Amino acid sequence: MVSSLGGQFVCFVFLVVVSIARVRAKQTVFDVTKNGGVADGKTDNSKAFTDAWTQACHKNGGGVILFPTGKYLVRPVILKGECKGPIGLQIEGTLLAPQGVQSSVDMDHWITFQHVDNLDINGGGLLDGQGPSAWHHNNCLKDPKCKRLPANLRFDFVTNLNIDHITSINSKNLHINLFACQDVKVTNVNISAPAESPNTDGIHIGSSSNIQILDSVIATGDDCISFSAGSSKINVSGVHCGPGHGMSIGSLGRGNNNNVSFVDIRNCSFVGTDNGLRIKTWAPSKQGTVSHVYVENIRMDLVKNPIVIDQNYCPARRCSATESSQIQIVDVKMINIWGTSSTPNVVTLKCSETKPCQRIQLRDINLSYKGPDGPAVSACSKVHVITDGKQNPPACTKPVIQVPHNFDVLN
């Protein structure tokens, strides 16, 4: 008899194989090992990678770049379009990022795609950022001029992107960074880094729209998913988050485009995270709007701060205590959120003095806390709250004194 887990694994492998077969049946495959690639975990395969990419990109009808099983060291690469057809990246083996300082510090990427349309990344393989070799260089809490560290996967101006059945571990910084991307679907990804790893956000979204993130597991040292300025029309469903800082809109207020809208988060779970669902804006800030945020069917398991709006976000303590955020937060719905908190701070809505939050709906909230600092608290400040259904604890029974901060200062 096959166990349920075993059956799921067999099903997973079958789907990956079918996916590979379909892609190969339609497009020419460019195997990196046929371009000088060596799967020994030591040889630099960046030229083999870029050569295979150039061949596939320049071929009429596109092609598929294949990393067969094995370990491939790849130094930082930038893969550019525009291509003459759809492009596939089939990772069956393990890609290893370099550990040396020259390839890791003061660099914002490991594998970057720019100006590509119709890109599929899948294959069931692994990207290992080898983050422990660089995390000690992240001193941004002490040094505002700290040097950059690379993301595992970076996408700039990419459209019609599909990422499916890929694992990303131990990125030196962000795992997946989407900037100015359109029509993106991320499914069945597994993202992992230790809880203490700095700024290892799972998926970071900026200036992008029409994004779907589905049926994935994200466990990192920072936000599982972060939605930054210019994000809109985003659907998140079936994501397990933890450890990490939860899912965050923001921080907002320091750039020129501070708008986030139409974010839909459903059927997700948070386990042992520092926050659950959070909106954070700087004070003072430039003007902007967060609107049409819909959150439904969320399970919390020992989350420190399950629901947070913080419009005085200032983890580095370099902000003004007298000036307010100019970000308007409006039309936010939190529906059917249940489970447990590891602190009494179950709901904290701390909004702007000059731009109070408008139409914040809490419906069927059932979050409990059992500990020495009880009872559970729902605290509100400068917010128009609409309540409906069950409210445990009762909504907005206390004023906000202070919102606990997490040290994710780069976002």
pLDDT grade, residue 411 (50/70/90)? low
pLDDT grade, residue 165 (50/70/90)? very high
Task: At 92, list the tokens.
Answer: 């069956």
pLDDT the model gives residue 173: 97
Map residue 349 onto helix, strand or coil.
strand
- CA pair distance 285, 3, nearest whole angstrom: 54
- CA pair distance 12, 349, nearest whole angstrom: 41
User: In the predicted model, is pLDDT for residue 187 greater than 70?
Assistant: yes
Cis peptide before 353 (omega within 30 of 0): no
Q: Which residues carry out catalysis?
A: 245
User: In the predicted model, is pLDDT for residue 7 greater than 50?
Assistant: no
User: In the predicted model, is pLDDT for residue 352 greater than 60?
Assistant: yes
pLDDT (tens digit per residue) in 60-83? 999 999 999 999 999 999 999 999
pLDDT the model gives residue 316: 65
pLDDT the model gives residue 321: 65
User: In the predicted model, is pLDDT for residue 8 greater than 90?
Assistant: no
Element (H, E) at 297: strand 288-303
Answer whether 270's CB lies under 8 Å from 298's CB.
yes
Alpha carbon 225 to its chain's center:
3
Average pLDDT over residues 221-235: 97
pLDDT the model gives residue 220: 98
The domains of the chain, with CATH numbers, are: 27-136+148-184 (2.160.20.10)
All residues at 6 or more sequence positions from 229 whose CB lies less than 8 Å from its CB, including other chains: 206, 207, 252, 255, 257, 258, 259, 260, 288
Could you tell me which of 127, 130, 146 has the C-alpha nearest to residue 138?
146
Strand partners, 164: 187
Map residue 206 onto helix, strand or coil.
strand
pLDDT (tens digit per residue) in 367-397? 999 888 889 999 999 999 999 999 999 999 8
% of the chain residues with pLDDT over 70: 90
Average pLDDT over residues 220-231: 97
Amino acid residing at 101 = V
Average pLDDT over residues 134-138: 92
| Better-scored residue on pLDDT, 23 or 46 | 46
pLDDT (tens digit per residue) in 282-335? 988 999 999 999 999 999 999 999 999 999 988 766 677 678 999 999 999 999
- CA pair distance 392, 69, nearest whole angstrom: 51
Residues in the chain: 411
All residues at 6 or more sequence positions from 308 whose CB lies less than 8 Å from its CB, including other chains: 275, 276, 277, 278, 279, 280, 345, 348, 349, 403
What is the sign, positive or negative, of the torsion defined by CA atoms of 47, 48, 51, 53? negative
- Using alpha carbons, list the distances in angstroms from residue 294 to 33, 83, 125, 246: 47, 37, 33, 16
User: In the predicted model, is pLDDT for residue 20 greater than 70?
Assistant: no
For Cα atoms 343, 345, 351, give the angle at the middle one, nearest 5 degrees. Answer: 155
Element (H, E) at 12: helix 4-26
Answer whether 383's CB lies under 8 Å from 357's CB.
yes
Alpha carbon 187 to its chain's center:
13
pLDDT grade, residue 22 (50/70/90)? very low
| Average pLDDT for the chain | 91
All residues at 6 or more sequence positions from 112 whose CB lies less than 8 Å from its CB, including other chains: 76, 77, 78, 79, 153, 154, 155, 156
Strand partners, 345: 377
- CA pair distance 120, 250, nearest whole angstrom: 28
pLDDT (tens digit per residue) in 207-216? 999 999 999 9
| Better-scored residue on pLDDT, 250 or 399 | 250
User: In the predicted model, is pLDDT for residue 4 greater than 90?
Assistant: no
Strand partners, 261: 232, 291
User: In the predicted model, is pLDDT for residue 1 greater than 80?
Assistant: no
3-state percent breakdown (helix, strand, coil) of the chain, nearest 5: 10, 50, 40
Average pLDDT over residues 274-281: 97
All residues at 6 or more sequence positions from 86 whose CB lies less than 8 Å from its CB, including other chains: 27, 61, 62, 118, 119, 120
pLDDT the model gives residue 246: 98
